[in-house]
Amino acid sequence: MKRFFLLFIGIQLLLFGVELLKPVQEHVVLPFTAQIARLCSALISISDKSALAVGKVLIDRATGFAVSIEPGCNGVEACIVLFAAIVAFPARWRDRLVGLAAGFAAVQALNVVRIISLFYLGQWNRDWFEFAHHYLWQGLIMLDVLVVFLVWARYFPQRLANAHAA
């Protein structure tokens, strides 16, 4: 458990530091965030044609309301936490890769729900938008990370002969 915990913290601090580097922000994080905005716009457009994505900003052309997907809202930090936990857990790399891919999809799927819900919540009531944005969704996303990790760790990795369980 101690080894897992130390690895988890170390990997996380490293990945978080890498994420903050300017070239990584410019060439990876911002283009990725813009793709999330485009995906949200495409999903909203199924029933509401007023949504438009411009870079990382999601705009409602009818009301002029816009949300900008900033750091902490693009799911990257949540994925870093999940990746660190999966890599730190004693498992085969094949199992880890399955966890990383499925976990990334699960976290980003919920994050898209978060962004779309905030997009509409902000147009309905600014107080509830602030509450959901700053507090509630932060907790729900991290709860999602925890559950994805628990599901993966419980059901997927093959037990290793040389691994320390606790």
Partner 1 sequence: MRLSASPLARFFAVAAVALLLLTVAWRPVSGIAAAPAAWLAATTMRTLFPDWVRSAHGGVARLEVETRLRVTPTAQQRALAAGAGQAVAEDDVAELVLEANPAQPGYGLPILLALLVAARGRRLFRRALLGAACLVPFQAYCLVTELLKQAAITSGVGAQTGFAAWQINLIAYAYQLGALLVPTLAPILIWVWLDRAFFAAIVLEGWLARPLGNGDGS
Which chain residues interact with partner 1 by CB under 8 A? 1, 12-13, 16-17, 20, 71-72, 77, 80-81, 90-96, 131, 134-136, 138-143, 146-147, 150-151, 153-155, 157-163, 165-166
- Of the pair 75, 122, the CB lying nearest partner 1 is at 75
CB of residue 117 vs partner 1: minimum separation in angstroms?
13
Using an 8 Å Cβ cutoff, are 118 and 132 in contact? yes
Using an 8 Å Cβ cutoff, are 122 and 67 in contact? yes
Question: Could you say which DSSP state residue 134 is in?
Answer: I
CB of residue 54 vs partner 1: minimum separation in angstroms?
24
Tally the C-alpha atoms within 13 A of residue 107's C-alpha that lie toward its C-beta: 28
- Of the pair 21, 54, the CB lying nearest partner 1 is at 21
CA distances from 127 to 66, 123, 134, 150 (A): 16, 11, 11, 33
CB of residue 146 vs partner 1: minimum separation in angstroms?
6
CB of residue 87 vs partner 1: minimum separation in angstroms?
10
Cβ-based neighbours of 81, under 8 Å, separated by 6 or more: 12, 142, 145
- Of the pair 7, 52, the CB lying nearest partner 1 is at 7
- Of the pair 22, 64, the CB lying nearest partner 1 is at 22
